[in-house]
Amino acid sequence: MAHIVQRYHEPLRAELPRILEMAERVGSAHGERPGVAEILSQVRVFAEILPAHMDREEQELFVTGVAPESAAACMGALEEEHVEAGDGLKLLRKATDGFTLPAEWTCNTVRGLWAALEALERDLMEHIHLENNVLHPTLGGA
């Protein structure tokens, strides 16, 4: 559990504000472009829900001595949120055309945002896989 916090939670907490700031800048400069409104909206959702999700994991699931029944109920809710996060990542992939830089309107902020979103997708999918398929079964989950 400490590995998950150090490898995924802490970096994500640090990276989300930077991603949000870039998305806001891209939205201001290129808001009329296809997909930009969807990207900004989803990044805002992630910036709001992911820190709260990680807090719940750390405070309710990663604590020593949590009852198996409590852990199972918590894991069920968290896994539903993992599905929602996966859906958000699919939206970002689609809105960025697979993180392909737009030839007509790419700027340094767009380059940075697309790269950050692709890294977010990779890390978040790895993070979710580890929790759902390695951690949760050891805590009494499915």
pLDDT more than 70, % of the chain:
95
Which structural domain range is residue 116 located in? 2-138
Distances in whole angstroms, Cα of residue 69 to Cα of each of 50, 83, 141: 24, 22, 9
Give 25-47 as a DSSP string.
HHHHHHTTSTTHHHHHHHHHHHH
**Confidence bin at 48 (pLDDT 50/70/90):** very high
Which helix (H) or strand (E) segment holds residue 21: the answer is helix 10-30
- The C-alpha angle with vertex 125 and arms to 120 and 128, in degrees rounded to 5, equals 120
The model's confidence at residue 137, banded by pLDDT at 50, 70 and 90, is confident
Q: What is the mean pLDDT of the chain?
A: 93
Burial class (CB in 10 A: 0-12, 13-18, 19+), 104: exposed
pLDDT tens column, 19-47: 999 999 999 999 999 999 999 999 999 99
Look at 26 and 60; give whichever has higher pLDDT.
26
Which has more pLDDT, 92 or 63? 92
Task: Tell me: pLDDT of 51 over 70.
Answer: yes
Q: What are the φ and ψ backbone dihedral angles of 12, each rounded to 5 degrees? A: -65, -40
| Domain total in the chain | 1
